[in-house]
Amino acid sequence: MPPPDSAAAPLTRRVGSGAGAAEVAEALVATWQQVGAALAPIIGRRGVAALLRRSLHLAAATHPCLSKVDDDADGLTDLAALRAIVSAQGRTEALQVGNALLATLQELLGSLIGPSLTDRLLGAVWAAPSSDPPAQDSTP
């Protein structure tokens, strides 16, 4: 089950149309960190790392560059390596890789805990960050 408005939505909304591969990679890592913050209180850091490793493994079937992401010294997935690998792609490929990884995560988590709970846990992550200033109360 893809995130609302397609798997591309979180990264596309975060980077905009003029962003390069480095910005896409930064947005992907930031999105993953938000996923980790949402899920770690429930499944722990190692559980989050296991989800990312499995998502990387599954997404690597169509995007082999993802198979190069290893774990760091603590046994957690090396997000700096993920950033570097995605940054090395062209913009279009970086978006495709990032979107595939996020869609795979959404599908994997949905298969484990159900689509409804997945949406509740990750809905804020998939929401577009607002670039508009906060609304002001204009009542006297």
User: Which one has a higher pLDDT value, 36 or 130?
Assistant: 36
Once rounded to an integer, what is the mean pLDDT over residues 59-83?
A: 83
* Mean pLDDT across 87-116: 93
Residue boundaries of the structural domains of the chain: 9-122
Mean pLDDT along residues 97-101: 92
Report d(CA 57, CA 61) in Å as an integer. 7
Mean pLDDT, range 23-49, rounded to an integer: 92
On the question of pLDDT at 130 being above 70, the answer is no
Contact assessment for residue 55 and residue 105, using Cβ atoms and an 8 Å cutoff: yes
Average pLDDT (34-38) is 93
Question: How much is the pTM?
Answer: 0.80
Mean pLDDT of 33-46: 92
Q: What mean pLDDT comes out for the span 44-55?
A: 91
What is the structure's pLDDT at 82? Answer: 93
